[in-house]
Chains A and B, each alone.
Chain A
């Protein structure tokens, strides 16, 4: 439809249809004191003025060398990713799901789902969700829906923002969330789950590597969930799955996580995407859409949207989720990212993360005034270092040296004062790590 402006006559006839005389009368229901008196908006700007404005703004940005993760990671994004995702067929189309017109988009989503299934080892992946936090919350809802039970056990070492999101989702439901603390090892102990789990437990949600960087004993925890007929929900870093056991290997029913490590830029907290895959049998209760492969009447391979009918645009009141948003372009980026690396190099990339993080860990923990918080813990690219030094001062000095320092875990939990969560990805060079260590030694 073309844009059609209104004249006074149009306005008058609209007001008449509403049964009011003026715009003022239309808004009478809103008390005067709640209305904006004047909007603080400057007048129009020329293109030239606008470019200058934004150039000045962008010059305030500082380029930092990042040693911080905590949910969003600084990974290299090969040019290939942007090259493919910026193609107009993918870039501009909104909900291009008509099978007749959108075979390319549908195939791309199908390939993405296949990658997620390959990574997690589970049977069915949806076309992606809004982000990691909502994917965890949706997994909790899925478990409640399938089991008909009311209790959910969540590791306290789950990303705190994810815990908050799950709580928000379940706030007005009958579900009962029980947080399980980690032990001094930084991991959830079997005994802690054993003490809290019962026949009324719908699911156990464990993140690995957890928010403290520690890899959990997923097999043992999953077995405990199985014993009580509870679902086991694994929250995983997708890149770490290239080297660690897959969720299917330790019997997870649902695997979810944040897809950002797979070729999505870090940009002020979003947009990213969440992934979800489930074992066979749960797919009918899963939120979101799935692209399936089929054949047309001539026997040629084709792709179609399946499970669409459970989405809110068709049966809103019975939809499995109220955010069925599939972050399609970012899922496509992940698909290109994974296919670009290929099996061997994807694994090498994960190994590089581990070896660089391990190098930094060994150097930092041996400095005077620093020590490993969880000695002996297995980690991927994040680890916790305890220090007797002033944490705020350390990060200030690092910032002066154009380094985004580790996360101060006192923000996360008061008991973690003096603890720093470092992240080292493949992006960090040996020189950068050595420089960090040198500054920390003097700090």
Chain B
């Protein structure tokens, strides 16, 4: 199971990569493996304000559909358009090409509550 040490995680299997005032969000290798083949992704609108732990996107696999919760509050800065044509990127490259969106976060303190790779490993 690939759990990069330089990322932050949530109990609901999202990963977060902090780049300046933005947080890049995706789902973990464990999550993509559990939900199996992803067939569709609904991404949030750019500019939308989102709140920590609220649904921001939907990932649909052949098994079911899952809400993806934003790990931090803020404004959606960017979404991964490539996913609309190739949702399987989430399975093939969960931490790179399969990221979902980036949030321009409004409260840096929220980041402190996220799990480290080590702690996330313990939850799965």
CB 8 Å contact bits of B50-84 with A (1 = contact, 0 = none): 00000000101111110000000000000000000
> Is A284 in contact with chain B by the CB < 8 A criterion?
yes
Is A310 a contact of B62 with CB atoms below 8 Å?
no
Smallest CB-CB separation from A311: which chain B residue?
A: B65
- A400 CB to closest chain B CB, in angstroms? 59
User: How many Å lie between the Cα of A284 and that of B65 in the bound state?
Assistant: 12
Q: What is the minimal beta-carbon distance from B38 to any residue of chain A, in angstroms? A: 11
Q: How far is the CA of A306 from the CA of B87 in the complex (A)?
A: 14
Which residue from chain B places its CB closest to the CB of A99 in the assembled complex? Answer: B62
Interface 1/0s, chain B 1-17, versus A by CB < 8 A?
A: 00000000000000000
User: What does DSSP make chain B's interface, helix, strand, loop or mixed?
Assistant: strand
Query: What 1/0 flags go to A307-336 for Cβ under 8 Å of B?
Result: 001100011001000000000000000000
Q: How far is the CB of B92 from chain A (nearest CB, A)?
A: 18
Given the known interface contacts A284-B40, A306-B39, the answer about A314 and B64 at a Cβ–Cβ threshold of 8 Å is: yes
Interface range, A side:
under 10
Report the bound CA distance from A284 to B41 in whole Å: 10
Contact of B64 among A284, A304, A306, A315 (CB under 8 A): A315
Residues of chain B contacted by A315 (CB below 8 angstroms): 64-65
Cβ-closest chain A residue relative to B39: A306
Of B40, B42, B65, which is within 8 A of A314 by CB?
B65
Q: In the bound complex, do residue A304 and residue B62 qualify as a contact, i.e. CB atoms below 8 Å apart?
A: yes
B41 to chain A, nearest CB (A): 10
B61 CB contacts on chain A under 8 angstroms? 309
* CB neighbors of A among B25-42 (8 A): 39-40, 42
Enumerate chain B residues within 8 angstroms of A310, measured Cβ to Cβ.
60, 65
Contact call A306/B62, Cβ cutoff below 8 A: yes
Residues of chain B lying within 8 A (CB to CB) of residue A284: 40, 42
| Distance in angstroms between the alpha carbons of A310 and B58 in the assembled complex | 11
Across the interface, do B62 and A318 meet the contact criterion of CB distance under 8 Å? Answer: no
C-alpha spacing A314/B39, complex, angstroms: 16
Is B40 touching A318 in the complex (CB atoms < 8 A)?
no
In the assembled complex, the Cα of A314 lies from the Cα of B64 at a distance in Å of: 7
Which residues of B lie under 8 Å from residue A304 when comparing CB positions? 62
Task: Give 17 new A-B contacts, CB below 8 A, not counting A309-B62, A314-B65.
Answer: A284-B40, A284-B42, A304-B62, A306-B39, A306-B62, A309-B60, A309-B61, A309-B63, A309-B64, A309-B65, A310-B60, A310-B65, A314-B64, A315-B64, A315-B65, A318-B58, A318-B65
19 contacts between A and B (CB under 8 A): A284-B40, A284-B42, A304-B62, A306-B39, A306-B62, A309-B60, A309-B61, A309-B62, A309-B63, A309-B64, A309-B65, A310-B60, A310-B65, A314-B64, A314-B65, A315-B64, A315-B65, A318-B58, A318-B65
